[in-house]
Structure 1
Amino acid sequence: MEIRWLEGFIAVAEELHFSNAAARLDMQQSPLSQLIRRLEKELGQRLFDRSTRSVELTAAGQAFLPHAREIVARTIAARQAVDAAEGEIVGRVRVGFSGVLNYSTLPPLTRMVHERLPHVHLDLVGRILTRDALIQLQRGSLDLSFVGLPVNNPDVATRLINKEAFGVVLPADHPMVGEKIVHLGDLSGDGFVTTPESSGSVFRDSTLKLCAEAGFTPRISQEVTDPYVAMLLVAEGVGVAVMTEGVGPLTPPGSVYRPIRQDSVELSHGVAWVPGAGTTARDAVIEIAEELSAPTGGDGG
């Protein structure tokens, strides 16, 4: 049994799609399929139920997955221990983020990792909202993720990175564009573009809280998980959207960001991870993330 067989198995188990798993491993689909067949032959069990439409883990595959992950993790840790003895940290760290919302945190973290840890490769996984991030961290498919805080999960540790005030993105022809600061109550007749309730994003909760403070319940005109797509919809006149102040320079043509009068609700950006389940490379990236922390930041979990 070879480590690359296990790596291929883990990729297919997490993607449940041979083509996606092959792309993730930077290999062709046919060799990956052969690799899985060799592993199944050695184990004497089918690990996947395959059809033309789907790939699913068998009971044997589900039982084997945590052991495969542990073997691969131990192998990586062993390699890193050898390299660390020579003064180098090497490895691959999978980092989840949620697109435009991490404009001020992800780029500097990535730059610092490239500068200080040249042998650490970051896999940046986009469109990961907080609820999904927690699931993927505990499942082991992410090593580290940007999240909205606070996080109420005793198995996950967090670090505050930044706090941002909220404002609103308006269509460029909206009557309130001429105001330097907007009162949300003046937008009670508008539809709001926000994230779905099922996504677990702090943006929807913050929108509802801010509108409630302004004395109304917002009418949701459209739900979308990607914040930048939400701003594109605003530019097309679908509604208005509550966003953080950092998106001001990033608003697409046809939309305008304006601060709001309320400052009772802030968005706290942070990073999250599962303690004790990581690698030397992951822990080194966390140390760099902590350097970006806001002065009032602290651990949580």
Structure 2
Amino acid sequence: MDLHHVQAFLAVAEELHFGRAADRLHIAQPPLSRTIKQLERELGAQLFDRTTRSVRLTSAGEALIEPARQIVDGFRVARRAVESAGRGKTGRVRMGFAGPSSYRLVGQLGRTVREKHPGIELSLRSRTFNDEALRAVMDGDLDLAIVRWSIEPPGIDHRILTVEHHVIVVPEEHPLADRDQVSMAELRHEPFVMLPADPGSSVRDGFIRNAHAAGYAPNIVQTAPDSWTAMALVAAGVGITFSIDVAVANVVQEGIRAIKLEEGRTPTYSRLIWRSGDTNPALRAVLAASEEALPTPDLPSGAR
């Protein structure tokens, strides 16, 4: 028994007339009669009582009507689902991001996707730092990610989302708290709270790079799993931290002060990344939504 048999049965059951059922199915009457006989042999039961003047359902035929309708309806639902997925109306897009610096971006994108594409699930994975996110997108474990980089990797398309600057975050009672700007050289003897070395935070990499350029290895007294925790530790007086202005702006934490960093005058950029050539229609729909939710900002000359 296949869908063709079921559709033929329903046409005859609803019309109770082989001629009208054949017209409805756009076939001749003899092939329809043969199809019904094949179905009856398959099921081992007579479905219709036929005379030269009338067609009536048998008890077996009556019992088959509702299951037959469910089969046809199920096929229609399956076909619509496939067609919708092919047009990017349904599907699942997996997105990774690190933490507070991306919360506002992720929220805005999630709202726009929900409004414009309610059939698409935006599956979010937080605490996915730079190196881990890049590998996951390149390997196909993620479809999208928000990252920062100094060297553009192969096989990745991207778009800049934010322009950012490095800052130093200190407790509000710290001797440097009233300063408008500090240099990394002035922080040589400070205790630092920083993100872990693994899985590769771009903020931590920038911190180490700037400290080495200033001529010292920094004194990291505490690691924190995310920027939110780092800010709380700073407020508690455990140390100071190196961060970016966007992350500080997205953390609600009393008792801290962000100070501009002399070495932070050259901006960094957060980027939305995806695999080059990815043809997933749901991904393409989300990328189109991102153009509205997260438009590319005005960029300094030469930024890309």
Give the TM-score taking structure 1 as reference length.
0.65
Q: 1:293 aligns with which of 286, 292, 296?
A: 296
Q: Give 1:106's aligned residue.
A: 106
Instruction: Tell me the distance in 2 between the aligned counterparts of 1:299 and 1:263.
Output: 16
Number of residue pairs matched by the alignment? 223
SS in 2 for 1:149: coil
**Unaligned stretches of 5+ in structure 1?**
1-77
Higher Rg: 2
Structure 1 runs (4+) deviating above 3 angstroms are 78-81, 212-217, 295-300
Task: Supply the distance in 2 between the matched residues of 1:278 and 1:269 (Cα, whole angstroms).
Answer: 24
Shift in CA distance, 278/132, structure 1 to aligned 2, threshold 3 Å: farther
Report the equivalent of 2:97. 97
- For the pair 1:282 / 2:283, whether they are aligned, the reply is yes
Pairwise CA distance, 1:177: 0.9
- 1:168–1:258 Cα contact (<8 Å) kept: yes
* CA deviation map 1:8-27 (0-9, x unaligned): xxxxxxxxxxxxxxxxxxxx
CA shift in 2, pair 1:237/1:97, >3 Å: same
In structure 1, give the amino acid aligned to 2:123.
D
Q: What is the match of residue 189 of structure 2?
A: 189
Aligned equivalent of 2:64: none
For 2:274, the aligned partner's letter is W
CA contact (8 A) 1:193 1:241 kept: yes
User: Is the contact made by 2:88 and 2:282 (CA closer than 8 Å) also made in structure 1?
Assistant: no
**Is the CA contact (8 Å cut-off) linking 2:88 and 2:281 kept in structure 1?**
no
Q: Are the aligned partners of 1:177 and 1:258 in contact in 2 as well (CA < 8 Å)?
A: yes
* SS class of match (1:160): strand
Aligned 8 A contact 1:206 1:265 in 2: no
**3-state SS of the aligned residue for 1:286?**
helix
1:256 matched to 2:253:
no
Q: CA deviation at 1:239?
A: 1.4
> What's the secondary structure of 2:128's corresponding residue?
coil
Shift of the alpha carbon at 1:213? 4.4
Report what 1:202 is aligned to.
202
C-alpha displacement of 1:226: 1.3
Query: Percentage identity across aligned positions?
Result: 29
RMSD over equivalenced CA pairs, Å? 2.9
For residues 154 and 234 of structure 2, what CA distance do their matches in structure 1 show?
37
Structure 2, gaps ≥5 residues long: 1-78
Q: 1:187 to 1:96 in 2, by over 3 A?
A: same
Say which SS state the counterpart of residue 231 (structure 1) adopts.
Answer: helix
> In 2 relative to 1, CA 112–199 (structure 1 residues): closer, same or farther, beyond 3 Å?
same
Q: Secondary structure at the match of 2:225?
A: coil
Q: Secondary structure in 2 aligned to 1:199?
A: coil
Instruction: Work out the CA distance in 2 between the residues paired with 1:158 and 1:83.
Output: 26
Structure-2 separation of matches of 1:295 and 1:89: 31
Task: Answer whether contact 2:203 2:244 (CA < 8 A) is retained.
Answer: no
Match of 2:243 in 1: 243
User: Structure 1 pair 278/88, CA: closer, same or farther in 2 (3 Å)?
Assistant: closer
Partner-residue secondary structure (3-state), 1:220 = strand
Distance in 2, matches of 1:231 and 1:111, equals 27
* Structure 2 Cα separation of the partners of residues 158 and 185 of structure 1: 34
Contact 1:163 1:269 in 2 (8 A): yes
Q: 1:159 touches 1:290 (CA, 8 Å); kept in 2?
A: no
Question: Partner of 1:271 in structure 2?
Answer: 272
Report the 3-state secondary structure (helix = DSSP H, G, I; strand = E; otherwise coil) of the residue aligned with 1:121. Answer: strand
- 1:154-186 Cα offsets, whole Å, 9 max, x none, are 122222211101111112221111223333332
The 3 A distance-change label for structure 1 pair 130 and 278 is: farther
TM-score by length of 2: 0.65
Segment of structure 1 superposing worse, 162-171 or 111-120: 111-120
- Preserved CA contact (<8 Å) 2:167 2:264: no
